[in-house]
Amino acid sequence: MAGGPREQWTSRRGFVLAAIGSAVGLGNMWRFSYLAAENGGAAFVILYLAVTLLVGLPVLLAELVLGRGSQKSPIQALTHYGGRLWKPLGLVFVSAGFLILSYYAVIAGWALRYGLAAIASGFDPNAAERFGEVASGWDAFGYHLAFMAFTVFVVVRGVSRGIERTSMLLMPMLFALVVGLAVYAATLDGASAGYTYYLAADFSKLRSLDALKDAAGQAFFSLSLGMGAMLTFASYLGRDVNLPRASVIIAGADISIAFIAGLVVFPMIFALGLSADVSASTVGALFITLPKAFAEMGCVGRVVGVLFFVALIVGALTSAISLLEVVVSSTMDGLGWSRRRAGVLLGIAIAALGAPSAWSTEILGAVDQVANNILLLGGGFALSIFVGWVMAGPIEEAREGAASFAWFGSWRTLLRYAVPAFLFFVLVYDAIPSTFRTIADLF
């Protein structure tokens, strides 16, 4: 057995930074701003804020309450409050962590590769060709393995010595980098065209329910919700921490970084007249359009580009850590494995599972779709039902360390009715054939 008392964070700040580290990642640095630009700019930002506040935040608090209340990883937390019937849901969470990390580390591997290549020899102006070489095959697999090795290294060192220390060191650096890059981007000629493209409000785009689905999927992915990552982190917390406040800080930081990243990306692209390249809608655009911009900016571009990729890698690493921690901590709690054994063996298994994604960007995209739109949103649905209806005393648990919080009643009401109804709709809407969808879009 992995004996001894449960590991704990050494400071509240450490926990909050680790949770923000989980939230801020590849999802923030590109996907948010891209979705905003596609879906009506500021109109989408407002919709996203509403979804995060009314749906994301309640589920985030639910995860924190479940984790801290049970002091257990997802499977045991659910059975602790709900009985054995809920074990399969815990297994789904752990599998989701497994699956998401398997392709997430592939994308992070691309970033690692770009960052190292830029330091050594700059950015290649033939970015599209270059991406073709980098994104799949043995090269992609190799960097994926390297990235997984970093992730395993941090997790094996433990909650406070590994995850907490890494986050305390890297997260402030990430904030500084992103803000610094946004300030630099503002000085470029053509920055305003970039801002306009990103933020010009077009409310007509919101008439399509696709925007709602995009906002929901992005909110859950970006806040690391629906598969027990936040739950697991909260299981290392003491009773004195104010969970509602922590959830607001985590969500606020996540949204801010996503928003600011858009202020970095679009001005740079527009300053170089590369706007036509933006519409290639895959994650590849991050690895094609921006590197092309960096290449065209010469020496300065090389420095700025390296800093950008460093930020991307840092964000990805602190997110990957939380994904692996869900799997590792569940295996430690459930099978009594040591942290080292769980980290190394599961890390190898996840790295192997990533091989198809490393070989084909189509497979990667397909896995991402399933994880994002089904596993996380479905997981959020189940979590809201669980904490809203099944768990005994969620309000009492949330109140520990937060006596003055006045919103508990509305929190539970949201979890009971509005959140599951909304998520159910979004999930089912996705399965409705497109002819009916057009009709639905009329409303």
The yes or no reply on residue 312 touching ligand PHE (CB under 6 A) is no
Instruction: Please list every residue from 369 through 428 that binds ligand PHE, using CB under 6 A.
Output: none
Instruction: Please list every residue from 81 through 120 that binds ligand PHE, using CB under 6 A.
Output: 100
Question: Could you give the string, one character per residue 165-204, with x where binding to ligand PHE holds by CB under 6 A and - elsewhere?
Answer: ----------------------------------------
The yes or no reply on residue 34 touching ligand PHE (CB under 6 A) is no
Minimum CB separation of residue 221 from ligand PHE in Å reads 5
- Interface with ligand PHE (CB under 6 A), residue total 15
Instruction: Please list every residue from 322 through 341 that binds ligand PHE, using CB under 6 A.
Output: 322-323
The yes or no reply on residue 155 touching ligand PHE (CB under 6 A) is no
Token pair for residue 438?
């057009």
Contact range with ligand PHE by CB under 6 A, out of 145-153, 222-230, 279-287, 356-364: 222-230
Minimum CB separation of residue 443 from ligand PHE in Å reads 31
Contact range with ligand PHE by CB under 6 A, out of 139-147, 221-229, 296-304, 403-411: 221-229
**Contact, 136 vs 360, CB < 8 A?**
yes
Token pair for residue 382?
């189940």
Site for ligand PHE (CB under 6 A): which residue of 14, 21, 25, 194? 25
Question: Could you give the string, one character per residue 256-295, with x where binding to ligand PHE holds by CB under 6 A and - elsewhere?
Answer: ----------------------------------------
The tally of CA atoms less than 13 A away on the side-chain side of residue 149 is 7
**CA–CA separation, 324 and 1 (whole Å):** 20
Site for ligand PHE (CB under 6 A): which residue of 39, 73, 222, 242? 222
Site for ligand PHE (CB under 6 A): which residue of 156, 229, 306, 351? 229
**CA–CA separation, 330 and 124 (whole Å):** 43
Instruction: Tell me the backbone φ, ψ of residue 402, rounded to 5 degrees.
Output: -145, 50
Minimum CB separation of residue 63 from ligand PHE in Å reads 11
Q: Which is nearer to ligand PHE, 14 or 25 (CB)?
A: 25
Q: Cβ-count burial of 153 within 10 angstroms (0-12 exposed, 13-18 middle, 19+ buried)?
A: middle
**CA–CA separation, 41 and 61 (whole Å):** 28
The yes or no reply on residue 27 touching ligand PHE (CB under 6 A) is yes
**Which position has the token pair 């399933």?**
370
- Report the candidate in 21, 78, 28 with the shortest Cα–Cα distance to residue 334: 78
The yes or no reply on residue 22 touching ligand PHE (CB under 6 A) is yes
**Contact, 371 vs 100, CB < 8 A?**
yes
Minimum CB separation of residue 102 from ligand PHE in Å reads 13
The yes or no reply on residue 221 touching ligand PHE (CB under 6 A) is yes
Minimum CB separation of residue 23 from ligand PHE in Å reads 5
Minimum CB separation of residue 155 from ligand PHE in Å reads 13
Q: Which is nearer to ligand PHE, 221 or 308 (CB)?
A: 221
> Which residues contact ligand PHE (rule: CB under 6 A)?
22-23, 25-28, 100, 221-222, 224, 227, 229, 319, 322-323
